[in-house]
Structure 1
């Protein structure tokens, strides 16, 4: 199964007060970390969607074997980035059979998790979605097979991929990812994570 990865990194990080894509963990920016994780998998293509602050973020991605897509309508919400990511993936390779959506602010996402999602998706032809489960939530990272790409393209405004997941629960498999409860939305969350990360 030909699986691509779409990294949604177009947001303005308004709650953080600075572009979270450029925050550092061990001297490496969040966006570079997630791109390198994606590159360590067998997934192709890897598409990164930029929007707010793209001019200062884009240099981080130079010379990486990924497709960078600008989303000029990023202010219209998450749906616009999902659409741009799918278009970018399809432009890169027409034969894409599934796509995994990632964000930059979940520092515990790793290659093993992504590989487990792909393995689960391949294990049963009735499975169209593989989503992660944490703290009674279902969310990203999430894999969608090609049959649901049109549903994603029909999202509007700030609707995220979760809407498509909720409409297709009977076709959804879940992966336990307790660390997914942490996403770095505020400067306090970031500082706390870095402090704990270095003390472990």
Structure 2
């Protein structure tokens, strides 16, 4: 069963001070690191949604072999990027997609593989962390894409859909032993 990888990397990083896709950590751009995680987890295809500084990201990142989608509405928030990414996946034949965010360098290929292991078109699966918290990566089965897209507005992404369909979330997969979903919210100098 084909499981796609969807990387949301369009944000301007207002609180951070620059687009997080262009942030270097341990000598690597965050966008390159996140693409590598999805590839190592054997997601195919991998779709990367760009917005802020898209031309700079294209010039500096290793985007060979991934589908790049421009989100001209990136300033409206993550919801528009999720909608753009799901639309790009519509004709791929993928049964599901694993969604990750560029500003979560603690998400690992092991976590993506765990979440993707239960993939199917009707599935909603989330990674689980300490204190019962659920987060990224998130698997969205194809059957849910229209509903997710309809509710993905502003900076909320899939959260409203997942909250409204808690009974459909088949499982929260424990991932705290192999990953963390802390995001980079503020620049190191801030």
Counterpart pick for 2:164 among 164, 167, 174: 167
Equivalent position SS for 2:117: helix
- Give, in whole Å, the separation in 2 of the partners of 1:139 and 1:162: 10
1:196: which partner in 2? none
> Could you tell me the TM-score, scaled by structure 1's length?
0.84
Which protein is bigger by CA-based radius of gyration?
Answer: 1
1:47-68: per-residue Cα shift (whole Å, max 9, x none)? 0000011111112345521000
Match of 1:107 among 105, 108, 111: 105
**2:183, 2:27 → 1: CA distance?**
19
State the shift of 1:74 in Å. 0.8
Conserved 8 A contact 1:139-1:162: no
> Kindly tell me: are residues 152 and 25 of structure 1, through their superposed partners in 2, closer, same or farther at Cα, counting changes over 3 Å?
same
Tell me the matched-pair count. 185
Decide whether aligned partners of structure 1 residues 60 and 89 sit closer, same or farther in structure 2, where only a CA change above 3 A counts.
farther
Tell me the secondary structure at the aligned position of residue 121 of structure 1. coil
2:141 maps to 145
1:131 pairs with 126, 141, 150, which one?
Answer: 126
* 2:70 pairs with 1:70: yes
Q: What are the superposed Cα offsets for residues 25-83 of structure 1, whole Å, 9 maximum, x if unpaired?
A: 22111110011111122211100000011111112345521000000011122111011
Query: Deviating runs (4+, > 4 A) in structure 1?
Result: none
Extract unaligned runs of 5+ from structure 1.
193-200
Normalised by the length of structure 2, the TM-score is 0.88
Q: Name 1:98's counterpart in structure 2.
A: 96
Please tell me whether the aligned partners of residues 96 and 119 of structure 2 are also in contact (alpha carbons under 8 angstroms). Answer: no
